[in-house]
Structures are given as structure tokens and as C-alpha cells.
Amino acid sequence: MPAGLSYTLEFLRPRTHLVDVRLLLRGLPAGPVELAMPAWTPGSYKIRDFAKGVQELSARDARGRGLRAPKLDKSTWRLERGGGGTVEVRYRVYAHELTVRTSHVDEEHAYLNGASIFLYVKGRKELPVEVRLRAPRGWRLATSLPPVPGRPATFQAPDYDTLVDCPIEAGLFETHAFTVRGRRHRLVIHGRGNYDAAAIVADLRRIVHAEARLFGGLPYKEYLFLLHPHPDGGGGLEHRTSCSLQFPRFQFRPREKYEGFLSLCAHEFFHLWNVKRIRPAVLGPFDYQSESYTRLLWVMEGITSYYDKLLLRRAGLLGVDGYLKKAAEAIQKVLETPGRRVQSVEEAGFDAWIRLYQPNEHTANSTVSYYEKGQVVGLLLDLRLRAVTGGRRSLDDVLRLLWREHGKPDRGFEEAEFQSTVERVAGRGLEDFFEGVVRSVEDPDWNAYFRPFGLEWRAEEKGEPRPLLGARTEKKGDRVTISGVVPGGPAERDGLAAGDEVLAVNGFRVDGETFEKRLEEAGPGGAARLAVFRKDELRTLTVRLGVRREVSHALARRARTTAAERRLLRGWLGREAGPFKVGRAARLL
């Protein structure tokens, strides 16, 4: 009997949010077997300990005799078995967290992220897998796993890594199909919202076309977009032949908010190349129990964030000025993060496991997002490459070269190889860029990058000076709480702390509406006497307010530009009318 794993998933009482799992282990050698549940899911760099959702695990042999299955650590069980033969393991998983990184079951649907559902055999992740779903009557199934011919609701995967890289949606949903370059695509939507499915399909088609032009084709037979309009937040998670998307259900309109959704789609779709195939060596095959550290998350996520807006421009879904506005907003967001002066974008990626997904009141002061700063660094790198090569080479060429040498053969690269690949494309060393921008905490000279393209980074002060407290606040009804203080600001200097609840300013009670007004009355440079609760102790602090001036930043075209500058700008963002015509891919180096 060939070795393999067979899972059967049942949703007997979906209102309990439980998934009943029956796992058959076939053809394994005699002796004990260790089963483990992943501690994290690829693409989301945080230890989540999915084993906390597992309950009622039991095992028996082919004769129905019970087997001992003691737990060895937080994620591992040891099956005490003697001879070979088939072993049946049963367990339940509690699934009641609807994010792209977790699983969720209710009476309408089941969304299954494989890392949070499927146990694996330690040391044998290469075993072939089958999955059968026994869903409530009327439910439909959607996954990028290929079906087993002749066996309804049954799917197969060549190994465990493939299994957990293919999320499953089961339930009541709508499906829309379209074709690009002869490849079938499906958009599956579960949930209500103010979206226009026909418009989404039309725009997805343009995004897929634009990204296929960049890389010279599509590396799959079918692709699945899974969308959950969500009451609260959003996000996405990439997979090799699918992606999971969540977006606030009533933010598909107006247009500017909808562009945020399109950027999310372009981002996750771009990952099918950059991360899933073009990747550092540590990002696959995966160790599901331990962190996988890399200093290149700014490349994997930041550069992808840069392209998710640039590709909307190339697909004709953003105008040139609309793109420049979004680029300026991205830079502005980084400049408003004090932590950029403390941590480099390279260090931010290495620390993702303990910082990005686990923020506290001091996070903004001590770290920077490798997504947010990473997209700005990706932008500057693209401009630098275009400028030093006279527009003959760009970041596109770096990605295409990585695709040819690492992505297609599915071979990860070492960290130093990214910089060396960039320098091969540039035809020169770029150590000054990597030391001065990637590994530095200093702000770059913005106009040194934008000037060759006829652009200018401008800062203008607006309005009258206003009082500066130097603290972030959280306002809920009548309560005003200090959620964080800015390093070196008045609040930190005069003793205000995160967690303080502000009751009064200069002797007058304040709430969410009046707090700012009382500070305005104190004026720039004035004194604000704050009565606060620190835990349950009443304290009075006097803060000498600073002076705050509103600064507006913009990335604008200069009034007078040279022909060379206009040529570089067109090469980067195309002409204003219609989609950016990429044309034939440049020759790979």
C-alpha cells in the first residue's frame, strides 16, 4: 500500500464553529508517528499556535483498537503504534476567526486556511494527500486543489506544502469566471457589500493582463480569487494558485476607496511570482513550527506594495497624477512614523515576528513597517535604476532576471543575491543605495531621485501654528486615553504616559469632542494642566505645549522640464491617455 494521508472534513454542527476531521495514515513504516499542527501560516509572519484550536484528538488502528496519543509539546502528538497498517486519527478544530490567516465556520460557510486545520506527519511532508469534504446540503466548494476524478467533493495534493497553500471555501457564495491568456480564473465572493461584481471582474482582467505582460506569461492553469466583504477590516494572503481577500463591505465605493481594493488584488496576485516563486531560500520549504527569518521582507512585501499601485497605472486604472498622489501619500506615511529614525527597513523585516503583528503603544516610536517603507524604497530603487541606465533598465528587469534564474526553477536565493542581481541589471555597484537607504535610518534626499524625471518633492506649511501635545489619543465616547507619546515631544518631556485617561484640561472636564478645543485655547507654547487617571490613581500634570505647523507634501511635475526628463517619466509611468503599453519584454540579462 503506497504511503499517503487522507482527510475527511465534516461540518456536523456549523453553528458551533467546529470542524470534524478524520485523518487516515496509510502505508507508513511500523513504529511511533509524530503528528504536528503548524504554529504559523506562510505569508503571515507571526507565531499563532494553531494547535490551540485542536480538541478531542484520538487514534485507533485498522482493527479498531485505541492507540495512545500523548501530547509532547504545544503542537505535537505522538502516536504509540507497533506494526504498520492504516491508522485513523480523529480530532476537532474550533474555527471562529474570519481572517485570511485563520479559519471560520458558521451556518452559511466554511473558510479553511489549511495551516490551521490539517495535522501533518513530522518528517514526511512529502506524502501525497487527499481531502474529502462532507458539507451541508446546498453548499458549494471552491479551492485551487485539483479534484480527484470520479470522486465528488474530493481533492488531491502532491504533498503537505501544496495542501496548506490552497485555502478552501465551502458554502453559499457567488462565482464569476473569466479567461486571460487562455487561463481560467474564478472570482468567488461570500458576503454582502456595495461591490459591483461585473466591474471587479473587468478590472481583475486588466490587472492580470498587466502582470502577465511584466513577467511574460502566467505560471498556472487556473487561478482562484476568494473574496470576503467584511464588516470591519481587510487584508490579503497570497498562495501559488489562489489568493484570499478581505475588504470592508461598504468601501467598494466611492472610486478612491475602490482603488484601495484594486491595489489589494494587484498586490496578492503579484505575490504568485514575488514570494511564492521568487523568494529567499528560507521561505520554502517551510518549517511550520519555528520562525523563518529573512532581511528581505521589504523586497517580498515592500516591492510588491510598490507594484500594486504601479500596475494599476499600467492597467489604465489610475492616471499619472492619481499615481503620483498615491506615491506622495506613501512617503508622507513613512515620514509620520518616528520609528523610521530607529529601525531600518531591512531590520523591520527581520523583526516582523515580534513587532509588526504584535504592536503596542511604543511600536510607532521604535519600528517602521516593511510594507510602508518598503514600497517607498522599491520606488526609489526603480527610479535609481532607470536614471543610471538612461531608462534602458528598471526594477522590472531585476524581477524578470530573478524569475528566470530562481522563480521558474523554483530555487530560493540567498540574501546577498538580491543586491548582486540589482547591480547586474544596473551594470554598476549600488552599495551607496543599499547602505544609504535600505540599511540606514536617515531620510533620503527625495529630489535627488525625482529630479531626473521632471518631478519635485514639495513641502508647504499651511494655516496658523497650532498647539502640539506630542501624543496619540484614543477617543471612545466620553473617554480620552493617551495611546502613545512621541519621542522628544512635550507629552513625553512632562510625564504624560500611554494609558493615561484624561479627565480635564486647565480645570475643565473634557471628552472626545472637547479635548482638542481645550488644547487650542491653551495655544501654541501655552501650559495645559491635565488631570488624568493613571490606572486608578488621580494625577495632575502640566504640559508645556509645543508648536505644530501643518505641512502638506506633494509629488508634482515641474513646470519646465527637459526632453530627457520627460522621456524618463514616460518610460516609468507611460503616457496619460489609455493603459500603459508595456510591449515586448526587455531581453533578460
Burial class, 3, CB count within 10 angstroms (exposed 0-12 / middle 13-18 / buried 19+)? middle
CA dist 278 and 54 (Å) reads 33
**pLDDT tens per residue, range 76-127:** 999 998 777 899 999 999 999 999 999 999 999 999 999 999 999 999 999 9
Helix (H), strand (E) at residue 175: strand 174-180
Residue 457 pLDDT more than 70? yes
| Same domain, yes or no: 575 and 499 | no
Say what the pLDDT of residue 587 is. 28
pLDDT tens-digit map of 515-531? 999 999 999 999 999 99
Residue percentage of the chain with pLDDT more than 90 = 92
Query: What confidence tier does 209 reach under pLDDT thresholds 50, 70, 90?
Result: very high
In angstroms, the Cα distances linking 309 to 56, 168, 375, 448 are 47, 28, 10, 22
Q: Are 515 and 411 within one domain? A: no
- Residues 573 and 544 occupy one common structural domain: no
Is the distance from CB of 311 to CB of 207 less than 8 angstroms? yes
Query: What is the model's pLDDT at position 585?
Result: 31
**Grid coordinates of 435:** 547602505
Are 437 and 486 in a shared domain?
no
DSSP 120: E
Question: The C-alpha cell of 229 is what?
Answer: 466583504
Instruction: Lay out the sheet containing 87-94: strands in order across.
Output: 66-67, 54-61, 87-94, 18-26, 4-10, 129-134, 154-157
Residues in the chain: 589
Share of the chain above pLDDT 70, in %: 97
Residue in this structure with the C-alpha cell 485617561, named with its chain if needed: 501
C-alpha cell at 253: 465605493
Contacts of 432-436 with CB under 8 Å at 24 or more apart are 433/380, 433/381, 433/384
Give domain status of residue 589, yes or no: no
Q: Is the pLDDT of residue 576 over 90?
A: no
584 Cβ neighbours under 8 A, 6+ residues apart: none
pLDDT above 90: residue 577: no
CB 78 within 8 A of CB 63: no
| 405 and 526 assigned to the same domain | no
In this prediction, residue 317 carries a pLDDT of: 98
pLDDT digit string (tens) for 490-524? 999 999 999 999 999 999 999 999 999 999 999 99
With respect to residue 493, please indicate whether it lies within any of the assigned structural domains.
Answer: yes
148 plus 15 within the same structural domain: yes
In this prediction, residues 448-460 reach a mean pLDDT of 96
Are 382 and 358 within one domain? yes
How would residue 1 be classed by pLDDT, with cut points 50, 70 and 90? low
* Model confidence pLDDT, tens digit, residues 125-153: 999 999 999 999 999 999 999 999 999 99
Over its C-alpha atoms, the chain yields an Rg (Å, rounded) of 27
Structural domain contains residue 269: no
Query: If you average pLDDT over residues 299-320, what whole number do you get?
Result: 98
Mean pLDDT across 299-327: 97
Question: Longest Cα pair distance anywhere in the chain, in angstroms?
Answer: 85
- Same domain for 499 and 575, yes or no, is no
Q: Alpha carbon of 237 to those of 42, 52, 101, 265, 286: distances in Å?
A: 9, 21, 7, 10, 16
C-alpha cell at 14: 456549523
Q: How confident is the model at residue 374 (pLDDT cuts 50, 70, 90)?
A: very high
Q: Are residues 314 and 417 in the same domain?
A: yes
Instruction: Assign 54 a pLDDT band (cuts: 50, 70, 90).
Output: very high
Q: Which of 172, 190, 225 is the last residue of a domain?
A: 172
Mode of pairing for the β-strands spanning 4-10 and 129-134: parallel
What per-residue string of b and e applies to 491-525 under the rule 16 or more CB within 10 Å gives b? Answer: bbebebbbebebbbbbeeebeeeebbebbeebebe
Kindly state whether residues 40 and 65 are assigned to the same domain: yes
pLDDT in the model for residue 532: 98
Q: Are residues 330 and 398 in the same domain?
A: yes
Domain count, the chain: 3
Q: In this structure, is residue 122 part of a structural domain?
A: yes
182-197 tens-digit pLDDT:
999 999 999 999 999 9
Average pLDDT over residues 32-37: 96
Element (H or E) spanning 383, and its range? helix 372-388
pLDDT at 261 over 50: yes
**Does position 353 have pLDDT exceeding 60, yes or no?**
yes
Distance CA 383, CA 272 (A): 24
Asked, for residue 92, whether it belongs to a domain, the answer is yes
Place of cell 511550520: 288
DSSP per position, 39-70: SSBTTB-S---GGGGEEEEEEEETTS-EEB--
User: Which CATH number characterizes residue 514's domain?
Assistant: 2.30.42.10
Tell me, what's the pLDDT at 13?
92
Task: Identify the CATH number of the domain in which residue 32 sits.
Answer: 2.60.40.3650
> What's the average model confidence in pLDDT over 274-281?
98
Hey, what's the cell of 89? 486519527
Closest among 184, 349, 212, 332 to 272, alpha carbons compared: 212
> Is the pLDDT reported for residue 296 higher than 50?
yes
CATH number of the domain encompassing residue 313: 1.10.390.10
Quick: pLDDT tens for 222-233. Answer: 999 999 999 988
**pLDDT, average across residues 517-546:** 97
- More confident call, 216 vs 12: 216
Residue 221 resides in a domain? no
Task: Report yes or no on 211 lying in a domain.
Answer: no
Phi and psi at residue 132, to the nearest 5°: -115, 135
Strand 140-143: give its sheet, edge to edge: 104-105, 109-112, 168-171, 140-143
Mark which of 139, 172, 205 sits at the end of a domain: 172
Domain boundary among 152, 172, 192: 172
SS3 at position 228? strand
pLDDT, averaged across the chain: 95
Residues 311 and 440 in one domain: yes
- Three-class DSSP labels, 298-359: HHHHHHHHHHHHHHHHHCCCCCHHHHHHHHHHHHHHHHCCHHHHCCCHHHHHHCCCCCCCCC
For residue 164, what is its C-alpha cell?
496548506
Domain that holds residue 19: 4-172
Question: Given the C-alpha cell 472637547, which residue does it identify?
Answer: 514
* pLDDT at residue number 550: 87
Q: How far, in Å, CA of 482 to CA of 473, rounded?
A: 5
| Measured torsion, CA atoms of residues 365, 371, 372, 378, in degrees rounded to the nearest 10 | 130
Q: How far apart are CA 454 and CA 446, in angstroms?
A: 13
Whether 564 is in a domain gets the answer: yes
